[in-house]
Amino acid sequence: MADAQRMVVIGGNATGMAAASHARRLRAPDELEIVVLERGDFTSYSSCGIPYWVAGDVGRAEDLVVRTPQEHRRRGLEVRMRTEATALDVERRRVRLRPSGAEADPSGEEWLGYDHLVLATGARPVRPSLPGVDAAGVHGVQTLDEGRALLHALEAEEAAEAEGPEGGRAGHASGRRREAVVIGAGYIGVEMSEALVRRGYAVTVLDQAEQPMNTLDPDMGVLVREAMEGMGITTVTGADVTALRASADGHVTEVVTGDGTAYPADVVVLGLGVRPETALARAAGLPVGDSGGLLTDLTQRVRGHRDIWAGGDCVEVLDLVAGRTRHVALGTHANKHGQVIGANVGGDYATFPGVVGTAVSKVCDLEIARTGLLERQASDLGLRHVAVTVESTSRAGYFPGAAPMHVKMLAEHRTGRLLGVQIVGREGAGKRVDVAAVALTAGLTVEQMTALDLGYAPPFSPVWDPVLVAARKATTAVRRAVRG
């Protein structure tokens, strides 16, 4: 081992473990020692699966775990669980460690040297600095540990209730339906709302924006609102949360908004999105971008640092449509970054060219998808554009199960280049966004898209796929705008 280099990976989830595993496939332990530091209890798990675990679709936390620490160790990785990196010494190429949570005991600290460092520290949920936000019963759902804490709390509530009113927590009126407030109506907020409804909670979602899902334009977001209200989720928009109130025992009881309304809450879930976890990196002077993520080159090397790599939820990615970097927390990018880092550290070669902004989600049977730019984003970037919306069906109109779907499409003025697509519909609607994602990657115009050879058969699509119908309408709109 004397000549072996050492790869140190901070963070044992998607990026970190993909990087470590891929590097191990390329380099044997006598060439490359690989040490992974993970501050939590789990490795390689699906954060995105947490809402489905809370809803009961997924039975156990273990089902969300792709590979346990033991499995990684059997594959030749050294994995140190419940271990936190507290400092990074770029000059001397070393990381300071201690057991997670042992903040008061500096004696437990040690330094670990590296030849290659991988920062895969992920993201943390936004916790607004509001009075009462640290009350018991207020939950983030970013990590499996957080998901587990929420689920334990819900199960404890449910068990207490089953024991009768005197067994319940003080202030929990007998026979009352349990109430949940979700702050933020983005992907995680919407998915958690469904999960909580399915667990029997009365759910209120509060969001500052004009419509839920502000990853869509408001005219598409309203379709999501209708579906949410249809399943009994109270959806309050333009809602500015100003405080959370707690009972004497420190448990949350109400969420208060700017207009003075108090929403009763037995549990509060924060769905305000996440921010890159970069405290360690920033303290060491590594470069971060406008949205707070680490800046890397296309090989996932941190800019200006030959031996430090970063990927996943702690970095910014190049948005190929916007032409700039931004923070996009998504497991699929995190895995790709890990693969790229592992290849490069392992002596192979790979790059991550960027994203086009694809995301897909569902609330009950409503599928919600987007890729590229929203109207607001296009305008902010100074991109003149046309936007069209069409309503079509996911299958041939005469075929059983054909359901309406709405497709909104943005194209650049003059060039007609596709700028973005948003889809809201039922079964089979969401993944159609992939066609637009590839078209964006390839720089196709909406007129070129009208000729795309997409799969057609009555159980799968009308003879004009809804994406093609939108492309035709967008083509006409571009022509009119040019003439007009």
Catalytic residues: 48
Complex with a second copy: residue 253 or 339, whichever CB lies closer = 339
CB of 478 to a second copy, least distance (A): 14
| Overall size of the chain counted in residues | 484
- Least distance (Å) between residue 298 CB and a second copy: 10
CB of 381 to a second copy, least distance (A): 18
Helix, strand, coil percentages in the chain from 3-state DSSP, rounded to 5: 30, 30, 40
Distance CA 332, CA 61 (A): 20
CB within 8 A of 383, min separation 6: which ones?
Answer: 373, 412, 413, 419
Distance in Å, CB of 324 to a second copy, minimum? 16
Amino acid at 328: V
CA distances, 321 to each of 34, 151, 411, 440 (Å): 36, 39, 11, 7
CA-to-CA distance for 142 and 47, rounded, in angstroms? 6
* Closer Cβ to a second copy, 22 or 39, answer by number: 22
Nearer to a second copy among residue 137 and residue 312 (C-beta):
312
Type and span of the H or E element at 351: none
**Residue 119, strand partner residues:** 10, 310
31/348 with CB nearer a second copy: 348
Q: Are 372 and 420 in contact (CB under 8 A)?
A: yes
CB of 447 to a second copy, least distance (A): 9
Closer to a second copy by Cβ: residue 19 or 135: 19
In the complex, the smallest distance separating the C-beta of residue 330 from a second copy, rounded to whole angstroms, is: 7
Which DSSP string do the residues of 72-117 spell out, in sequence order? HHHTT-EEETTEEEEEEETTTTEEEEEETT-TT-GGG-EEEE-SEE
User: Closest Cα to residue 211, out of 236, 246, 192, 180?
Assistant: 236
Q: CB count, 10 Å around CB of 399?
A: 15
Q: Which amino acid is at 367?
A: E
Nearer to a second copy, 69 or 357 (CB): 357
What is the spatial distance between Cα 90 and Cα 110, in angstroms, rounded to a whole number? Answer: 16
Q: To 10 degrees, what angle do helices 218-230 and 187-198 make? A: 10
Residues that bind a second copy (CB under 8 A): 14, 46, 48-49, 52, 57-58, 63-64, 187, 330-333, 335-336, 339, 351-362, 367, 369, 371, 396, 398-400, 428, 430-435, 437-439, 441-442, 444, 448, 450-461, 463-465, 472
Residue number with CB closer to a second copy (102 or 350): 350
Question: Which tokens hold the place of 443?
Answer: 């720089």
Q: How far is the CB of 472 from a second copy (least distance, A)?
A: 8
